[in-house]
Structure 1
Amino acid sequence: MSKSQLSVLECDRILTAPGSVLEMEERILHGRKVRTWKHCPPTFRSYFLESCTKYTSRTFLSSPVEPSGRQEWTFGQVVEESLKLAGWMKSRGLGIGSRIAIGGGNSAGWIIAFVAVHLIGGIAVALNAWLPLDSLVYCLELTKPALVLVDARLAELLDPAVLTLRRKGMGESLSAKMSCSPEQLRQIKDGTSLDDLNPESDAIIFFTSGTGGRPKAVLSTQRMALTNLWSGLVAPIRAALRAGVTPPPMPKPTDPQKIVLLAVPLFHVTGCLSWLMRAFFTGNKMIMMSRWSIHEAVSLIQSQKVTVIGGVPAIVSEILESPALDKNYSFETVFYGGAPPSRELANEVKRRWPKTGLVQGYGMTETNAYVCSVAGADYVLRPDTTGPAVPVCDVRIADPRTGRALPPGSPGLLMVHGPQVMKGYYNDPKATSKVIDQDGWLDTGDIAVLDHEGFIYIKDRAKDIIIRGGENIASSDVENALYAHPGVLEAAAISVPDKRLGEKVGAIVSVRSDWTGRVTEESLLEDVKSRLGKPAWPSIILISNDPLPHNVNGKVVKRDLRPMLVEAWEKRKRVDAGRLRSKL
């Protein structure tokens, strides 16, 4: 840091000064003393109604329509359809605290359902539409929603399990269009019976996979989830102050509209809380993709004149490398997070698009996205950092064994405290107590280093989770699928590096003696495909006739296996590249 450059702390004092948009205040919430954003919207309902009134005639969505078309929606049209659905739900006795599941790919219907749930003060249960049937059933059994709203594909997938789920307490499952009376519509607009809706009301459930392999239901309040909206403003303002220039102004309805490619799923915190919620704030137009495809992405970028891209680093890497994108095409802003980027990505973006604003953030489902963020020169000069913590968030590095706070420069567990930390895992107090202590500190499970200026560097994950292009994959899920094969004695799922996705799934298995020579990589891959969602399919499986290494507690020592697996993976990639060159 130069002598004339403001420190991170000095920048934060300026951007959180009394009277500023990012002014903070202290509160006691759920027994935790925290700093909160003073001017953050109090509820999703108030935020949606205010935003859609402000931008009512602006085009909001370009949504995919089966089989290959697209349909545009204005902010006003989205809120009107949401009000109708909300009125229908209210007529069925649903309201504050009602859990309502939403399932499907990115679409206008998903967003309309999400807005509608919040217009009645309900709890949106965001189903991961990529999960296999048994995991979806588990999520529904766990949360027992009063109503399930799904798209046609998910309705067909869930159909065999609906009767069983209804017997276990789940409400009805619907994919048809709903309607309501004029009186019901008026009541929703007026907020009838919603006097008790407040920032501490439960708002949303996202699902995440823990080391146990079962999805966990992350429950957050209105304030916890909406904190991310204001936290997302921090990095560009800090970057401007650090560079000695005027920070960007708050968005206005008269500003030129930004065109955003939404390529990440809305059922994850990144897609929902970082991308969708920001669009309501800025009046962005979102070009939605139902599933990622680089060919479709480049086509949409050029035909729709997209100005903002991002999501997970893999998306940015693929767009960078695509020969189909006009070499003179540029973007206003590139945002990414949700998975570890390669340290080269920031410089690759700036080399290709030197005038493009660049923002990177770190968070997790349990923190409703942002914990820390970085933009501009700070990121380019420190490509390994995820930035300093946002001002409302406290972080510390703790000794994994003792919990003692460690000094700057020492690797340890990243602990997080702030208003964005989840309320807890729904219906699982035991799991909650394992990650949140009595003072409200969340154990992220990530190993990190904090430097003297406050920049955080994520070094490794203490949890056994593989992050493939932003999708969290529990290694135990992969291992359990491999164990289902009668010839597998032991299995260890381990990440292997991938330039595009960050990580892919790899595995090593030991074979039962009576199956020696009869188990092949191909047969194992075919066997696990029916048990795992596609992102969890292993890209490489090594087969050993010897037992896997164990520690004194009998656990497989994955750190001893990782070098062998990575070496085999890199060798395979070189061989595959050589074959491709020979064909050319």
Structure 2
Amino acid sequence: MVVCHTSLSGTNNHTTCRGTGITFNHLSSPFWYLTQGCQFIRIWLKPFCSYPPLSTLHVDTPPCIPTVTTSYVHGTSTISLLSCTVPQALQATVDRWPDREAVVFMKDGIRKTFAQFQQDVDQAAAGLLALGLKRGDKLGMWGPNIYEWILFQFATAKAGIVLVSVNPAYQLQEVEFALRKVQCNAVVCPTQFKTQKYYEMLKKICPEMETARQGIFKSARLPDMRMVVLTDSRQPGALHMDDVFQAGGSEELKELESLQKKLSCDDPINIQFTSGTTGNPKGATLSHHNIINNSYFIGRRLGFDWRVRVCVPVPLYHTFGAVGGGMCMAVHGVTLVFPSPGYDGRANLEAIEKERTWTKDVYMGVYTVCVVADGDVSLLIVCVCQIAYGTTENSPVTFLSFPRDNLELKTKTVGCVMPHVEAKIINPVSGEVVRLGEPGELLVRGYCVMLEYYNDDAKTQEVIGKDRWYRTGDIASMDQFGYCRIEGRMKDMIIRGGENIYPAEIEQFLHKHPKVQEAQFCPSPRPLPLTEAPPPHHHS
């Protein structure tokens, strides 16, 4: 295939041609024109000719021709990246479908149309400005899936305030570390959820709350902290949600409107804490551009549109819930249905039945979509599994399967590279790109890569090079269609005699023996004698 790109400027035409591996398998004629503004693309289809191999892959549709020749792929697309901010994306959807339901919180009986949701967002954002928060400040959201969580996700974005997503399971030391690390100025949380006493923990960290005047205080242990907002009760030293809504007046609403012209899509908008498996949690800082575009291309690949109702049982404090849920709502106009504040399997089924939703859940990193028969959740008549891969640092999704992929691709890979994303597999020692199908460390580059680990240059430089490649720390391999297979973690890899040994490969080899039922690789500080595990007892 040869692509000729012709630009028209007045009466002067100029054309450049190059060979490419991009294919358009839906073409029915030898010529195809794509118009974008005043630009035209003319494509001639020829028999398979020999062109210099380019590891670019057109991923608007499932790839059907093996064009990837090394373990490097660039997901190309005819669809451009978006350059809007989060409030602009939400406003566009509100203008288009004002009376469509935006969110449903089943346990709390809350239903909001896009117009109602936007009104709440504006009032909450104006209230935050009236209470003294300003563009660039940080607000921590700490709690389960409640309406206030998604409300402040968009209210902070509208006010130019950075939302800090705090794990609702954090205990005293963990939350103090997180809030101090990112210099948090305010926290919004419920008084308590199950055994988590949020208000009591914050009072222990900030005893100055007891003598706070009008909910504003100065903390010795958290020097940047100024206020705590409770969503469900009034307590000494803390503000209530009503205080936020009542604080903002016409002056703050005008200030809010003026602020929209100053916000940039490259501004930081969300700090997501990593799991901290290699030490203290790190604050992955994401921009409007990161999360807007990731949600946009997630939704496009999954086929989201305004008619879709999505059940969201995953936590909003994760990028999966915040981007795959909240941001997809703002960008694609889908309705989000939250079955319960915490994970509840029975509530999920009730949501599927009563709200007629697709359900978006995670089992081993899989998007699960179920359509339910009328009146009977026991009859799941269609089940389409979509598997995805990503990291918090990548906003998060970088590989995602297509709905039409076969079962083998959906069970043995983590999907195909996403649009506008580069990925490569390298030898972790030499740094060279490995041959197709060989395992190595997975690196990702593109719009999705985070800005930084907040206030941690050393950790940032460990994972993002000067060339902006992000090192995932995952062992992976790639096929000729741009699909990725995760083999394990770099920290589990063993180098012996100059050879890279992966635990997953050893386990897979052992599983081939007919008498091996289960195999688990684990390191030992010294040689252990070989022993035979007794066969499992089967009870009748």
Could you say whether these structures have the same fold, taking a TM-score greater than 0.5 normalized by the shorter chain as the test?
yes
Aligned identity (percent) is 20
What are the equivalent positions in structure 2 for 1:43-442 lying under 5 Å apart?
A: 43-65=85-107, 69-153=108-192, 154-163=198-207, 166-167=219-220, 168-169=222-223, 170-175=225-230, 176-177=240-241, 178=244, 179-187=246-254, 191-236=257-302, 251=305, 257-288=307-338, 289-313=340-364, 326-330=377-381, 353=382, 356-382=383-409, 383-442=411-470
Deviation at residue 364 of structure 1 after TM alignment? 0.6
Structure 1: how far apart are the matches of 2:115 and 2:228? 27
Q: Secondary structure at the match of 1:86?
A: helix
Structure 1 pair 318–281 and aligned structure 2 pair: CA distance change class (3 A) = closer
When the two chains are superposed, the root-mean-square deviation of aligned CA atoms in Å is: 3.8
Higher RCO, Cα 8 Å, sep 6+: 2
Structure 1 pair 166–8 and aligned structure 2 pair: CA distance change class (3 A) = farther
Structure 1 pair 56–123 and aligned structure 2 pair: CA distance change class (3 A) = same
Picking from 488, 497, 520, the partner of 1:460 is 488
* Amino acid across the alignment from 1:456: C
* Amino acid across the alignment from 1:425: Y
The equivalent residue for 2:519 is none
Q: Which moved more, 1:311-320 or 1:131-140?
A: 311-320
* Contact persistence 1:228–1:420 (CA under 8 A): yes
Picking from 8, 15, 19, the partner of 2:36 is 19
Structure 1 pair 316–197 and aligned structure 2 pair: CA distance change class (3 A) = closer
Structure 1: how far apart are the matches of 2:21 and 2:356? 35
Structure 2: how far apart are the matches of 1:122 and 1:279? 20
* Contact persistence 2:360–2:369 (CA under 8 A): no
* Contact persistence 2:366–2:388 (CA under 8 A): no
* Contact persistence 1:61–1:74 (CA under 8 A): yes
* Contact persistence 1:393–1:416 (CA under 8 A): yes
* Contact persistence 1:104–1:129 (CA under 8 A): yes
The equivalent residue for 2:71 is none
Structure 1 pair 564–45 and aligned structure 2 pair: CA distance change class (3 A) = farther
Q: Secondary structure at the match of 1:440?
A: coil
* Contact persistence 2:352–2:359 (CA under 8 A): no
* Amino acid across the alignment from 1:311: V
Structure 1 pair 53–373 and aligned structure 2 pair: CA distance change class (3 A) = same
Gaps of 5+ in 1: 1-6, 24-32, 237-247, 331-352, 466-493, 496-547, 552-556
Q: Secondary structure at the match of 1:215?
A: coil
Structure 2: how far apart are the matches of 1:369 and 1:13? 30
Deviation at residue 192 of structure 1 after TM alignment? 1.6
Q: Secondary structure at the match of 2:295?
A: helix
Q: Secondary structure at the match of 1:101?
A: strand
* Amino acid across the alignment from 1:399: N
After superposition, what is the alpha-carbon deviation per residue over 1:206-228, rounded to whole angstroms, capped at 9, x for unaligned? Answer: 01124423111001221122220
Q: Secondary structure at the match of 1:401?
A: coil
Deviation at residue 279 of structure 1 after TM alignment? 1.8
Deviation at residue 395 of structure 1 after TM alignment? 0.7
**Normalising by the residue count of structure 1, what TM-score does the alignment of the two structures yield?**
0.65
Deviation at residue 74 of structure 1 after TM alignment? 1.7
Structure 1 pair 314–361 and aligned structure 2 pair: CA distance change class (3 A) = closer
**Normalising by the residue count of structure 2, what TM-score does the alignment of the two structures yield?**
0.69
Structure 2: how far apart are the matches of 1:183 and 1:464? 57
* Amino acid across the alignment from 1:201: D
Q: Which moved more, 1:83-92 or 1:9-18?
A: 9-18
* Amino acid across the alignment from 1:10: T
Structure 1 pair 309–212 and aligned structure 2 pair: CA distance change class (3 A) = closer
Whichever of the two has the greater Rg, that structure is 2
Structure 1 pair 39–451 and aligned structure 2 pair: CA distance change class (3 A) = closer
Deviation at residue 463 of structure 1 after TM alignment? 4.2
Gaps of 5+ in 2: 1-19, 41-73, 193-197, 209-217, 231-239, 494-502, 505-522
* Amino acid across the alignment from 1:198: S
Structure 1: how far apart are the matches of 2:305 and 2:310? 15
The equivalent residue for 1:348 is none
Deviation at residue 35 of structure 1 after TM alignment? 8.7
After superposition, what is the alpha-carbon deviation per residue over 1:252-303, rounded to whole angstroms, capped at 9, x for unaligned? Answer: 5xxxx32221100011010011122112233322221211121222222222
The equivalent residue for 1:515 is none
Q: Secondary structure at the match of 2:377?
A: coil
Higher fraction of helix: 1
Deviation at residue 316 of structure 1 after TM alignment? 7.3
The equivalent residue for 1:545 is none
